[in-house]
């Protein structure tokens, strides 16, 4: 894809590996939006999904491939002809399509399909050849490469290169390796395997031991020129290499790592927030680059140093990652034009209808809060997006609670255009409220996650509530923000229920669930 020896390609797998995080399943429209943001910010390759996994995955990959403007769109396929053909059908309408096929090569993974070394080598040759006959850009991965015998790893990589693979990805599937090993492995493979100098080597690191970013950067020093990563480090178990971390590490430490990417770093914060909202996985406060505290300073010594010279305790500027300094330019007297301009500064280009909805919410918030921060505005736009699912709506909520007995919630909802009211008691105000929702709209959904985070500081801060529900194999996440935590909880719960309803109606039962396992390979 490039002949520049100092250019590192960014391969984003948020929509594939990231979505494998339990509960992180995204809707079709969310996948399209995130893919558009990735494409716009300069990501080189977008792994949009696993097309044979479900009709939903196939539809999303196909639509993303049609809409891509700059990035190569990639689909994942096991080492089986039906997988590869389904993958090609999904990506073939892209200007720069890619098939990514894989098989587990370590002793543990070879035992799953019960293949001998020779049988697996034959399958690799057949499937990579088949993929290359369909698509000019083929990536091949020996899953669990870091625990595969050295001689066998070299053998199968040579086979894949001869069969037509253009990128060889070396996955640290279980996050087992360490930086020195990571660099050495790539360096030795490039020096040893015939034809290695004619392909791009990639690295795919998991974070089980907390070393994913370090291992990925070490692999680049060893000769890899593609990093597989996800926004916010999303992914199975402890996650993957975080895109924002490797991009900024290469940008800040170019003195010792003379490499660069094509990613526009000022768009990192916006996409981080959007992925957090879509997945329901909030970013930890102390997360590098995009965490809420990444540019916050509380220590007296730190604050004094920052006032005198910001470089004393900041190695990069907040503006470099798209974070505007917390400001208070908006209040209850601000108009629509000012709000639209602020949203644009924060990375949101909204239509007239959405602006109207956000403006109403903004005015209501400004009447209740002394100061409206940028993060408050982001919470409002997030809540507005969640409101697209509206078969069920919260109209009013009254809660009575205290130390004298059980809490009681009186909830009024609109359900398919009809108003209904229920009063329920519970162990606390949120429990009572959720019981009232279930009484008005009976369901079997199981609560997997209930999470509350303050948007800003102060007793008048908005609370952002995330609720994740599971019902019959389908998982949906709802979010909402309000200065009243219980109200935000009710709306988040109802938003999640709305998403479950939409998925059942549009996709059919189980369509968005992962219907097959990678272990079937």
Collapsing DSSP to helix, strand or coil, 248 comes out as: helix
Copy the structure tokens of residue 35.
């893919």
Do the annotations mark residue 240 as ligand-binding? yes
On the CB side of 218, CA atoms within 13 Å amount to: 17
Is 347 within 8 Å of 267 (Cβ atoms)? yes
The phi-psi region of residue 475 (left if phi > 0; otherwise alpha if psi is between -120 and 50; otherwise beta) is: beta
Do the annotations mark residue 125 as ligand-binding? no
Largest CA-CA distance found in the chain, in angstroms, rounded = 77
Per the document, the length of the chain is: 521
Single out the residue of 295, 290, 292, 209 nearest to residue 247, CA to CA: 290
Q: What residues are paired with 75 via a beta bridge? A: 49, 99
Do the annotations mark residue 206 as ligand-binding? yes
Q: Tell whether the torsion through CA atoms of 414, 415, 418 and 422 is positive or negative.
A: negative
Copy the structure tokens of residue 378.
């982001």
The phi-psi region of residue 235 (left if phi > 0; otherwise alpha if psi is between -120 and 50; otherwise beta) is: left
Do the annotations mark residue 352 as ligand-binding? no
Rounded to an integer, what distance in angstroms lies between the CA atom of residue 13 and that of residue 213?
15
State the Rg of the chain over Cα.
25
H or E element, residue 35: helix 28-41
Rounded to an integer, what distance in angstroms lies between the CA atom of residue 512 and that of residue 23?
11
Rounded to an integer, what distance in angstroms lies between the CA atom of residue 486 and that of residue 50?
38
Rounded to an integer, what distance in angstroms lies between the CA atom of residue 444 and that of residue 511?
18
Residue 391 CA: distances (Å) to CA of 73, 414, 447, 495, 497:
34, 8, 20, 9, 9
H or E element, residue 36: helix 28-41
Q: What is the DSSP letter of 106?
A: S
Which residues participate in the annotated binding site for Mn(2+)?
A: 17, 204, 206, 240
Which residues participate in the annotated binding site?
A: 17, 204, 206, 240
């Amino acid at each position: 894809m490039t002949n520049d020896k100092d250019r590192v390609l960014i391969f984003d797998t948020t929509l594939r590996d990231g979505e494998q995080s339990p509960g992180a399943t995204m809707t079709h429209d969310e996948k399209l939006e995130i893919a558009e943001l990735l494409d716009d910010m300069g990501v080189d390759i977008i792994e949009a999904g696993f097309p044979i996994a479900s009709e939903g995955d196939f539809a999303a990959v196909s639509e993303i491939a049609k809409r891509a403007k700059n990035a190569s769109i990639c689909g994942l396929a096991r080492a089986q002809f039906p997988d590869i053909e389904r993958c090609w059908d999904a990506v073939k309408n892209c200007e720069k399509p890619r098939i990514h096929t894989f098989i587990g090569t370590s002793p543990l993974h070879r035992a799953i399909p019960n293949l001998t070394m020779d049988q697996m080598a034959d399958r690799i040759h057949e499937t990579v050849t088949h993929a290359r006959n369909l698509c000019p850009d083929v990536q091949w991965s020996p899953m669990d490469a870091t625990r595969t015998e050295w001689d066998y790893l070299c053998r199968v990589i040579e086979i894949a290169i001869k069969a037509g693979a253009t990128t060889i990805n070396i996955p640290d599937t279980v996050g087992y390796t360490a930086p020195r090993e990571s660099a050495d492995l790539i360096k030795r493979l490039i020096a040893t395997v015939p034809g290695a100098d004619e392909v791009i080597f990639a690295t795919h690191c998991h974070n089980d031991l907390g070393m994913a970013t370090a291992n990925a950067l070490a692999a680049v020093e060893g000769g890899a020129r593609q990093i597989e990563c996800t926004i916010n480090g999303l992914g199975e178990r402890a996650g993957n290499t975080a895109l924002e971390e490797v991009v900024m590490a290469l940008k800040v430490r170019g003195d010792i790592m003379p490499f660069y990417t094509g990613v526009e770093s000022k768009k990192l914060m916006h996409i981080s927030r959007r992925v957090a909202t879509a997945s329901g996985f909030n970013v930890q406060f102390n997360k590098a680059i995009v965490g809420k505290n990444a540019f916050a300073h509380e220590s007296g010594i730190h604050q004094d140093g920052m006032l005198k010279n910001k470089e004393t305790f900041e190695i990069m500027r907040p503006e470099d990652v798209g974070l505007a300094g917390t400001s208070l330019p908006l209040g209850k007297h601000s108009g629509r034009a000012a709000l639209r301009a602020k949203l644009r500064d924060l990375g949101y280009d909204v239509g007239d209808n959405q602006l109207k909805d956000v403006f109403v919410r903004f005015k209501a918030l400004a009447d209740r809060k002394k100061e409206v921060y940028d993060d408050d505005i982001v919470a409002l736009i997030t809540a507005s997006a969640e409101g697209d699912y509206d078969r069920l709506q919260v109209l009013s909520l009254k809660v009575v609670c205290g130390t004298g007995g059980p809490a009681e919630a009186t909830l009024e909802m609109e359900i398919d255009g009809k108003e209904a009211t229920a009063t329920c008691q519970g162990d606390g105000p949120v429990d009572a409220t959720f019981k009232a929702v279930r009484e008005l709209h009976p369901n079997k959904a199981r609560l997997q996650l209930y999470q509350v985070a303050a948007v800003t500081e102060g007793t008048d801060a908005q609370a952002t509530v995330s609720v994740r529900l599971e019902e019959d194999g389908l998982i949906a996440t709802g979010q909402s923000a309000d200065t009243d935590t219980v109200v935000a909880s009710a709306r988040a719960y109802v938003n999640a229920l709305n998403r479950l309803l939409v998925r059942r109606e549009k996709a059919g039962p189980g369509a968005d669930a992962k219907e097959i396992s990678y272990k079937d390979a």
